[in-house]
Structure 1
């Protein structure tokens, strides 16, 4: 047993993407330092609890990274029907007593009595959805040889819209619902779908949103989240409260910040900076470590995304390429929206900053997704450089 484990680890070290793993670990450790500062006002017990959970999730995440690196995706996708069933059933668990609501009223978490943390079904389903969509795109390209027709576009878009509708209808969580949509857009674009279908999709989506507003179908709180973007003085104690406080903290840091664990808003009591260890962790960084600290955050996330896209470029099959593009799209969307929320240019839709925000299940699934990318790199052909032997 021990020899078997040693052989697996040796194979992992030789072939897995250790650079990607190193970048993920660096981002997580940086995030844990920010979480420690963001929860300091709760006393030492609060710091230990939040940082401890994040640290445990990181350890489990590295294990998930190793496991997913070893996973044969082609073999897994032969049972694609089971993955479809898993997506449907896992999201449906939110309707059971295990489904719990967050402070926004969305039922987007599962709390099992035998687990010390909650699980966000969307975090797990993002991975399985990406795998299924990639397989569907590869089938249309390699078997049907049809990526331009309306039926093909409808098939892929229908898959995405059905999952989005199922998830958002049950949970009310529009943020992760839009993440599914962005993953679909990037993967379909890279696969080579005709641009006319994207134009039609955006036109139809715009018309649907305008109609829902005109008919009063869109909730007032959702409309107000967009309204405050154009008028920062509107409802500063309601819809604009989080972003007003976040922007105040972020802007007060200047170039080098007020000092680690010295931020005025970050270290103040409850209510001074809402969701400081989750949605607005970037504001904590800006206040205490300044623009320099924020640029390091962006640089780490950009390096991870670029690394994933490099693996996509060298992937052995279209399926592997699409999977990597989907993972990169997930990271890009969450990063842009979360930082945009903190800068008061994007609506608050509850998306955390990958690897930096507090969240055990989110961090664990991020490492699992990165492990999938590492496994794809492991199976990709080696790119030879002229005049240099392989080795």
Structure 2
């Protein structure tokens, strides 16, 4: 396709990007289109829309998402960091506007309409937040006098402080977990681990005591008789009905009554129509992306690159695991999409932005070799 001597930007990108990781992500995007075709028509029919309304919109979002992912992957680390700063600040401002002027949907104010496009700003803040926190921790590693830890805490407080009033406790938990993972990867002490763990448990207890919405979800998870568990029960039924090989494309019945079959519970629809085998293939695809990304992070010498890739991959992996765990009733409902599979314009675009940063940060670059100075002897012994 391109010669190795070709100096054009796209040619250099082609020979340095991880094409295996890129292919895995594109396969997930294509899989999302196929599964959207299976899961979304009943939802559109119930809303009085064209049967393929959500399929068409999903396809429309895929095109700019792929373009965005490739465009971001062309950037160098400095450009990626700068773009993250712009997206983070703009996203926080839009989150404030959403709280004030956004439409309320199911008791939450998370969306804002811009030029006819409904946007969820917090989705775009997530990957930018991860990169900036990674930068703060990496600067603390490089320069101990740099208040990197304090900057990271302030960014977490700003993000979470706008997520809680929405309310969006699923995204709050995700942001805190990824922040903690980055802090751990940056080399925090066990004392900090214990302290942060205690704060996390305290936060969950406080949310349970003070927020009825959170209390109801946890109670329904622990005691199904305490409230309405229709969606979870229906999702579990879909796994039983589908068996190992599924009932066949379009033959599922559970999606006819599952309200969020095209978003939060698309994994359950996949189980009924395509079977547990295809679900396991999906799990393997997500696991491959996570392990491939973490392998890149382990090889990076630069703290910023190492922490950024780690954080973005942990964000991707945790969101995937949480969605699938909710479908299997392994944790309380969180209202979180399955990356690249669930319908949602903001989700697909923000995930493309995040994976574009992963592809850009993991591109092969020349390694600088250590140079012996005149202060070092021929065998590495300090000269006298």
TM over 0.5: yes
Equivalent pair of 1:338/1:352 in contact (CA under 8 Å) = yes
8 Å contact 1:316–1:380 — kept in the other structure? Answer: no
Partner of 2:374: none
Give the alignment's TM-score, normalised by structure 1: 0.84
Counterpart for residue 101 of structure 1: 104
Please tell me whether residue 22 in structure 1 is matched to residue 42 in structure 2.
Answer: no
Shift of 1:299: 1.0
Cα RMSD (Å) of the superposition?
2.6
Contact 1:183-1:329 within 8 A present in 2 as well: yes
79-88 vs 322-331, greater mean Cα deviation: 79-88
Equivalence map 1:1-391=2 (5 Å): 7-41=8-42, 42=44, 46-75=50-79, 77=81, 85-97=89-101, 99-102=102-105, 104-115=106-117, 118-144=118-144, 156-169=152-165, 171-211=166-206, 213=208, 216-219=209-212, 221-235=213-227, 238=228, 240-266=229-255, 268=256, 272-381=257-366
Query: Structure 2, unaligned stretches of length 5 or more?
Result: 1-6, 369-384
Distance, in Å, in 2 between the alignment partners of 1:254 and 1:332 is 25
Structure 1: how far apart are the matches of 2:207 and 2:74?
A: 46
* CA distance, structure 2, for counterparts of residue 81 and residue 25 of structure 1: 26
| Residues 297 and 305, structure 2, Cα contact 8 Å, conserved in 1 | yes
Deviation of 1:120 (Å): 1.4
Q: Secondary structure at the match of 2:63?
A: helix
Q: 1:277 to 1:84 in 2, by over 3 A?
A: closer
How far is 1:47 from its partner? 4.5
1:219-261 Cα deviation digits (max 9, x unpaired): 2x321211122223332xx2x2211111111222111111111
Q: Conserved in 2, the CA contact under 8 Å of 1:250 and 1:283?
A: yes
Task: Tell me the distance in 1 between the aligned counterparts of 2:218 and 2:325.
Answer: 13
Name the SS for the 2:127 alignment partner.
helix
Offset at residue 7 of structure 1 (A): 3.2
SS in 1 for 2:252: coil
- Distance in 2 between residues matched to 1:59 and 1:359, nearest whole Å: 13
- Could you tell me how far apart the structure 2 residues matched to 1:14 and 1:181 are? 36
* SS of equivalent residue, structure 1 residue 122: helix
Maintained 8 Å contact 1:83/1:132: no
Give the distance between the partners of 1:295 and 1:199, measured in 2 at CA: 35
**Matched position secondary structure for 1:252:** helix
* 79-88 vs 372-381, greater mean Cα deviation: 79-88
Kindly state the Cα deviation for residue 212 of structure 1 after the two structures are TM-superposed. Answer: 5.3
Measured in 2, the distance between the counterparts of 1:254 and 1:76 equals 44
Change in CA separation of 1:152 and 1:16 when aligned onto 2, cut-off 3 Å: closer
Q: Give how far 1:296 is off.
A: 1.0
SS of residue in 2 equivalent to 1:111: strand
> In the alignment, is the contact (CA less than 8 A) between 2:92 and 2:125 conserved in 1?
no
Q: Return closer, same or farther for 1:45/1:155 CA change in 2, 3 Å cut-off.
A: closer
Distance 2:144 2:300 in 1: 21
Partners of 1:23 and 1:304 within 8 A in 2: yes
Cross-structure match for 2:379: none
Q: How much has 1:49 moved relative to structure 2?
A: 2.2
Q: CA deviation at 1:291?
A: 0.9
CA pair 203-96 structure 1, distance change in 2 beyond 3 A? closer
Deviation sequence 1:16-46 (CA, Å, 0-9, x none): 2222221111112112111111123346964
Distance in 2 (alpha carbons) for counterparts of 1:325 and 1:255? 34
CA distance in 2, matches of 1:234, 1:85: 41
Residues in 1 aligned to 2:17 and 2:69: alpha-carbon distance in whole angstroms = 9
8 Å contact from structure 1 (residues 254, 291) kept in 2:
yes
> What is the alpha-carbon distance in structure 2 between the residues aligned to residue 190 and residue 372 of structure 1?
19
